[in-house]
Amino acid sequence: MITFPLQQPVAIFLVVLLVILLGPLVFRPLKIPSIVGMIIAGIVIGPYGLNLLERDTSFKIFGEVGILYIMFLAAVEIDMFHLRKSSKKGLIFGLLSFSLPMAAGIFGSHYAFGVGWTTAVLIASMYASHTLISYPVVSKFGLSNVPAAVIAVFGTIVAVLLSLLTLAQVVSVKINGGFDMAELWKLGILMVIYMFVVGYSFPWLTRRVFGHNNDPITQYIFILALVFVASLLAKIIGLEAILGAFYAGLVLNPMIPGRSGLMKNIKFVGNAIFIPYFLIGVGMLINVGVIFKGWGVAWIALNMTGVALSTKWLAAFIASRFFGLDGADRRLMFGLTSGKAAATIAATMIGFQYGLLTEDIMNGAVVMILICCIVSTVITERAGKQIRMRITAEELSHDELVPGEYARQVVAVANPVTSEGIMRLALFMRAPENKNHITALFVRSNDDSRIAQMGRNALQSAVSVADGMDVEIKTIERFDLNVVSGLTNVGHEERATELVIGLHRKSNVVDTFYGAMIEQLLKATNKMILMSRCFIPVDTVSRIIVAVPEKAEFETGFKLWVMRVANLGAQVAARLVFIAYPATAEFIRNVINEGGFEVRHDYRTMDTWDDFILLSSEVEEDDLLIVVAARKGSISYSSDLESLPVFLGRHFTRHNLLVIYPRQY
């Protein structure tokens, strides 16, 4: 016999899945955002609605995971270039978003509700904190890196951290009768140690694990485990888990490129299960019926909602005017920072537990949370659409955004062990908006079945990488006289802008560093050739060092290779360090700046080729060394480059290496 609320785990999970599945179908025709729909669905099926489900342990666990997931996604989706660029603005906005609600909340609560100053500070901390409950909307519209979103996310951490510290001091005053400065100092020291340990150990562990294991499931579980380790450690030292999840996202951000298969898996699992579970759980906490029990609760809820929303709007208004942002950006900042869930719920429960909040104020706070969540989602959705349309219109007005001008790459593969890394490198060097297909090529010149099968496996590995990054791929298995002939012919047929191949591995003592095949290829085609050898996944490199010969700016393919390198640095969030002659460095800087590439690029001066030999000693195992070479007879070719293969073969046998031969007329 079925009784309500449901107790069977299978029945509970089935109801939740049906809500996640059918919710959008019900609320979309009503123009209700999906996030609000999930919260409303939680109210309906929860203990204060139809009582189909009670908020049991599963909702507490999945709900906690959901809010951690939102904070982690917010951090890992941000481009670190944008974050550094907007960090000061985010700090200012965070202080505004905290101080204005705190000031209004303290005095307003004291005089409006007649509560003591300690309770007034607690209520004000509820106004000051907020949750990125509408962040999935930003992610859906691809606005994670617009200035308004980055400023709002950074400001969230500032406001939440200060609110939680305020909450901790309120509890200390209630228990001990005064502030405990020793505890604050202790927490500050533990925070510094925490940031140092997580900030240095997580990237090191990730590079080691990713370097030895390419299985997407293993990588996903490993990343998720690190998020929970960071969250748990934050809890242990006295912070909230959401701060730990956000910091883990920032630390792991360079390890998880936005177009990688790993990022795709992270978003899929979060948006499919954890985040909806969290939203439904929030709805199940809300008892709308308390509004109708008397004017007291309704007045308190109206007052709290008005103060919370108006002060957050005022903070967004002042910040947007100060930063020169428009109305849509202001509304996006307000929408992201007006939602209330995790920290506000925690403050409400703690306040009621210690007798600081009456039952009417607690019920009013719960109603405030509901209204703020609805307002946050609706405002963010509308502002997100406006900004997305504005960005799209700007993109369409630029001549350079013509699909035919984008990279058309031919990637030669033969070994399934290395094909995945070569394909990933090629994909990260493309512009994210490039819609051209990429060509994976396997060339054979005999009927050896073992070689043929190995080549087909290599093609399959390349396909899996392209599919994981949502890039159309064309595979070609070609029988030709030799690899050089097959590669050059396919390059002409596909109108390729560049050929990407694996760097030759010496098979005997008399073998050259490049090998006979590559030397023939350089003579057979004038297209740009990129030769890669990476011992670790390219998306885990922390720094890209680029050595550029003198007069490289006079080569036909100069701008093309600079754009490819800039794309690579931007998409794997690695710092670019160019070792170049002063005149050449200025041209490189202009290409990157005029192209709008959002990547950090530094320059080391090279006056003679011997300077490169000295500076190259600084290349570490986690770096990627790119050497820009030149064909014989070209403007930038010199006797120094003639000895380059021997130098690379002698000193960089265990380093990640990419050799580029620019396009020639």
Higher-scoring residue by pLDDT: 397, 148: 148
Residue 248: name the closest of 262, 228, 268 by CA: 228
Please state, in angstroms and as integers, the Cα–Cα distance from residue 556 to each residue in 148, 400, 456, following that order: 39, 18, 35
Please state, in angstroms and as integers, the Cα–Cα distance from residue 378 to each residue in 233, 305, 573, following that order: 35, 16, 32
pLDDT tens digits for range 50-94? 888 888 787 888 878 887 888 788 788 777 777 777 888 989 999
407 with 471: CB under 8 angstroms? no
* pLDDT classification of 429: cutoffs 50, 70, 90: very high
What pLDDT was estimated at residue 509?
39
pLDDT tens digits for range 295-321? 777 888 889 899 999 999 999 999 999
Rounded distance, CA 186 to CA 189, Å? 5
What pLDDT was estimated at residue 507?
46
Residue 628: name the closest of 598, 660, 605, 658 by CA: 660
Secondary structure tally for the chain: helices H, strands E: 25, 10
pLDDT tens digits for range 565-578? 999 998 888 899 99
Rounded distance, CA 177 to CA 187, Å? 19
Instruction: Give the DSSP H/E element, type plus range, for residue 62.
Output: helix 57-76
pTM over 0.85: no
- Domains of the chain plus CATH, in order, are 56-396 (1.20.1530.20), 400-533 (3.40.50.620), 538-665 (3.40.50.12370)
Dig out the tokens for 37 from the structure. Answer: 């729909």
Residue 2 φ/ψ, nearest 5 degrees: -90, 125
Q: Residues with Cβ < 8 Å from 591, sequence gap 6 or more?
A: 558, 559, 562, 563, 566
222 with 231: CB under 8 angstroms? no
Q: 102-107 long-range contacts, Cβ below 8 Å, gap at least 24?
A: 102/127, 102/128, 102/166, 104/307, 104/310, 104/311, 105/307, 105/311
What pLDDT was estimated at residue 139?
79
User: Which residue carries 């999935």 as its tokens?
Assistant: 136
What pLDDT was estimated at residue 513?
53
Rounded distance, CA 370 to CA 281, Å? 12
pLDDT tens digits for range 207-260? 888 877 877 888 899 999 999 999 999 889 887 787 888 889 888 888 887 767
Residue 609 φ/ψ, nearest 5 degrees: -65, -25
What pLDDT was estimated at residue 151?
92
Higher-scoring residue by pLDDT: 34, 280: 280
- Whole-number mean pLDDT of the chain? 83
